[in-house]
């Protein structure tokens, strides 16, 4: 089964499990950001992500591995709490599977979040960043075959503007994706900075490429959890702790964007 048909199968399973034929917006919550889902209202359904076709149980810390269905401002929202990373060794298909499933489930937009390292001295741990552009340094893509898509506006200007309106303290920057799982050397951090990156991480970009291919409006939000290019040692557990401290703030940003940016549509329940 190819990646898109697998996503359709997962979307069918979601519709049956949630009793909702079509969802409107998807949210992918990265390391330590699970509590952001609490701001998005009480879940009507919570599903073990690995129980759905094509999904794998996340292995990284700070990724509980759940899917929640809830209602925000009249919108049906799918919240993926945890993701599959490229460094887990399964290839780009499973990495992009949540986004493809969201599109197959009817979503017209996706919010991608992550914890990241800062390459700018003004972006300290705890800072929030709206992704304005990206560098794909992963060495791969979720696209297969002659699927030529323009990534010039992969990160929605409209949604970026709304996010900053909700939280004016958010910075904007370029996110660089590396395959990981190792963190950067000091020399690598200098190189990535010279290439134009403001923050760096191990996720999000392949999902955004898949979202662009499928026509989803995409918003990216990063929480800075470490400073790159210094002698400080990056502690994975501390990364999650810092992200956890920003989770409710990110949830409020996402909720505000949904309330301002998307008119609700009539929902159909499955009988």
* Each residue's pLDDT tens digit, 68-125: 999 998 999 999 999 999 999 999 999 999 999 999 999 999 999 999 999 999 999 9
Of the chain, the end-to-end C-alpha distance in Å amounts to 28
Give the sign of the dihedral formed by CA 198, CA 201, CA 104, CA 165: negative
Q: Residue 1 — pLDDT band, cuts 50, 70, 90? A: low
User: Cα 125 from chain centroid?
Assistant: 19
Q: What is the token pair recorded at 179?
A: 């395959």
Q: Which residue ranges form the domains of the chain, and what is each CATH number?
A: 3-261 (3.40.50.1580)
Kindly compute the dihedral angle of the four CA atoms of residues 105, 30, 130, 92, in this order, to the nearest 10 degrees.
-60
Residue 233's contacts (CB-CB under 8 Å, 6 or more residues apart) are none
Q: Is the bond leading into 181 cis (omega within 30 degrees of zero)?
A: yes
267 has pLDDT over 50: no
Task: Report the alpha-carbon distance of residue 233 to residue 184 in Å, rounded.
Answer: 11
**What does the pLDDT read at residue 231?**
74
Task: Report the alpha-carbon distance of residue 79 to residue 121 in Å, rounded.
Answer: 32
Closest alpha carbon to 112 in 75, 65, 160: 160
Taking each helix axis from N to C end, the angle separating 3-18 and 92-104, rounded to the nearest 10 degrees, works out to: 50
Q: What is the token pair recorded at 204?
A: 């999000």
Condensed to tens digits (0 to 9), the pLDDT of residues 47-76 reads 999 999 999 988 877 788 899 999 998 999
Closest alpha carbon to 260 in 128, 153, 167: 167
Q: Residue 136 — pLDDT band, cuts 50, 70, 90? A: very high
**What does the pLDDT read at residue 266?**
44
Q: Residue 204 — pLDDT band, cuts 50, 70, 90? A: very high
User: Cα 120 from chain centroid?
Assistant: 22
Average pLDDT score over residue span 153-168: 97
Average pLDDT score over residue span 13-33: 94
pTM for the model stands at 0.94
270 has pLDDT over 90: no
Closest alpha carbon to 269 in 53, 44, 5: 44
* Summary mean pLDDT of the chain: 93
């Amino acid at each position: 089964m190819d990646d898109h048909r697998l996503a359709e199968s997962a979307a069918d399973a979601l519709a049956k499990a949630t009793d909702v034929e079509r969802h409107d917006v998807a949210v992918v919550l990265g390391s330590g950001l699970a509590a952001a889902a609490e701001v998005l209202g009480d879940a009507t359904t919570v599903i073990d992500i690995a129980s759905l076709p094509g999904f794998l149980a996340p292995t990284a810390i700070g990724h509980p591995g759940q899917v929640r269905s809830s209602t925000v401002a009249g919108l049906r929202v799918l919240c993926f709490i945890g993701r599959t990373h490229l460094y887990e060794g399964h290839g780009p298909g499973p990495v992009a599977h949540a986004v493809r499933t969201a599109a197959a489930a009817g979503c017209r937009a996706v919010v991608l979040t992550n914890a990241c390292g800062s390459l700018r001295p003004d972006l300290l741990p705890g800072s929030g960043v709206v992704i304005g552009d990206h560098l794909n340094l992963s060495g791969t893509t979720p696209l297969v075959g002659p699927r030529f898509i323009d990534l010039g506006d992969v990160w929605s200007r409209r949604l970026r503007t709304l996010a900053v309106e909700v939280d004016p303290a958010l910075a904007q920057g370029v996110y660089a994706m590396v395959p990981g799982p190792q963190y950067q050397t000091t020399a690598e951090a200098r190189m990535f900075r010279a290439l134009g990156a403001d923050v760096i991480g191990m996720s999000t970009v392949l999902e955004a490429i898949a979202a662009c291919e499928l026509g989803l409006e995409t918003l990216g939000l990063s929480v800075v959890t470490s400073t790159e290019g210094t002698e400080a040692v990056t502690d994975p557990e501390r990364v999650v702790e810092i992200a956890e401290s920003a989770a409710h703030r990110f949830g409020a940003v996402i909720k505000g964007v949904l309330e301002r940016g998307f008119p609700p549509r009539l929902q159909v329940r499955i009988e």
